[in-house]
Structure 1
Amino acid sequence: MNQQIEQLDGFADEPTREMLQSLIDKKRKFDKYKTLCLRWQIFTFLSVLSFMAYFYFIILHPGDSNLSILLGQFTGDEMHIFFLVAIVAGYGSALHCKKKEEKAETEYHKLRCEVITKSPDLWPKPFLWKKRHEVFKVMKKEFDINLFYESK
């Protein structure tokens, strides 16, 4: 359990702290997939861009405008296949990571909304209800998790 969550001993009971820890874990998982997806998208974009530049300056520009000669030059080199495989692999990986990112975001948002909805049950006593605001501040400041409102 995180040190900041353990320090909330007087502000929240054990099940509430476990729920908050789970929320932090889901947020980190979502952030991890978000970063990974962005990296794959940048890799794919740069691969496409470099292949287009290579294709234009090496194959199209100095060569003839005959389509059969261009296709022969394109299929004659293994480097072109490597470029295409890298682009397809990058695109496929970006799609796969995007699906995982959306799933992680859904799980995170569901649990976050559950914490917000169950706040009266998690902090049932009036003196604990006043401390709830401190817990929400810690979650926002330390982990960038907004528990004040349900909207994203």
Structure 2
Amino acid sequence: MDTAIINLSEKTDKATKQMLQNVVNKKRKFDRYKNYHFFLLWISVFYCFITIYLMYHMILKPYSYSFFEIFSIVFNNQNHMFFLFLAVFFLGATKVLYDKKEKYEKEYHELRCEIIDRSKDLWKNEAWKTRHEIFEMMKKQYDINLYHEAK
């Protein structure tokens, strides 16, 4: 558990601290996959752009008179096929990372909304008056907004 969450006031019980820690862990996992997706997306875009540019100048431009020639050159040369399959692999990996990013974003948002919905149960009586301090700490240290459900 993070030290900032451990050092919360005594008015916050262990279950609430564990819920806060879980939302921090989900946020970190979401951010990690968001960064992976962004990085691989740009690698894919640049790789595909370079591959299309080179294929155009090496194959399409010189052999533009015949579709059969273009087709046979692309599919008879193993290097051309390797570059095309590598482009498809990058695009597929980008899609897989996008799906994982969306999954973790959904889990993070659901847990955050659960804390917001249950805040009246988690902080009762005296603790209700000091919950804004915890919300401020979560916003400053972890960039997690517990004031509103909207992203």
Give the letter for the 2:145 counterpart. Answer: N
In structure 2, what is the equivalent of residue 135 of structure 1?
A: 134
Identity fraction in percent? 38
Moved more, 81-90 or 105-114: 81-90
In structure 2, what is the equivalent of residue 96 of structure 1?
A: 96
Give the Å deviation of 1:138: 0.6
CA contact (8 A) 1:136 1:148 kept: yes
SS in 2 for 1:145: coil
Give the letter for the 1:76 counterpart. Answer: N
C-alpha separation in 1, matches of 2:18 and 2:72: 63
C-alpha separation in 2, matches of 1:80 and 1:26: 41
1:46 aligns with 2:46: yes
C-alpha separation in 1, matches of 2:107 and 2:72: 50
C-alpha separation in 1, matches of 2:40 and 2:114: 32
Give me the TM-score of the superposition, normalised by structure 1.
Answer: 0.92
**Post-superposition CA distance 1:126-150 (Å, at most 9, x none):** 2x11211010001001101000001
Give the letter for the 1:70 counterpart. Answer: I
Following superposition of structure 1 onto structure 2, how do residues 32-111 of structure 1 map, counting pairs within 5 Å? Answer: 32-111=32-111
Give me the TM-score of the superposition, normalised by structure 2.
Answer: 0.92
Moved more, 135-144 or 56-65: 56-65
**Post-superposition CA distance 1:75-107 (Å, at most 9, x none):** 232221111111111111111111111111111
SS in 2 for 1:87: helix
Structure 1: 5+ residue stretches without partners: none
**Post-superposition CA distance 1:45-77 (Å, at most 9, x none):** 112101111011111233452222222222232
C-alpha separation in 2, matches of 1:57 and 1:51: 10
* TM-align CA RMSD: 1.4
C-alpha separation in 2, matches of 1:64 and 1:19: 63
Moved more, 77-86 or 104-113: 77-86
Moved more, 75-84 or 61-70: 61-70
C-alpha separation in 2, matches of 1:70 and 1:49: 19
In structure 2, what is the equivalent of residue 30 of structure 1?
A: 30
Q: Residue 54 and residue 11 in structure 1: after superposition, are their counterparts in 2 closer, same or farther (change >3 A)?
A: farther
SS in 1 for 2:144: coil
C-alpha separation in 2, matches of 1:121 and 1:3: 24
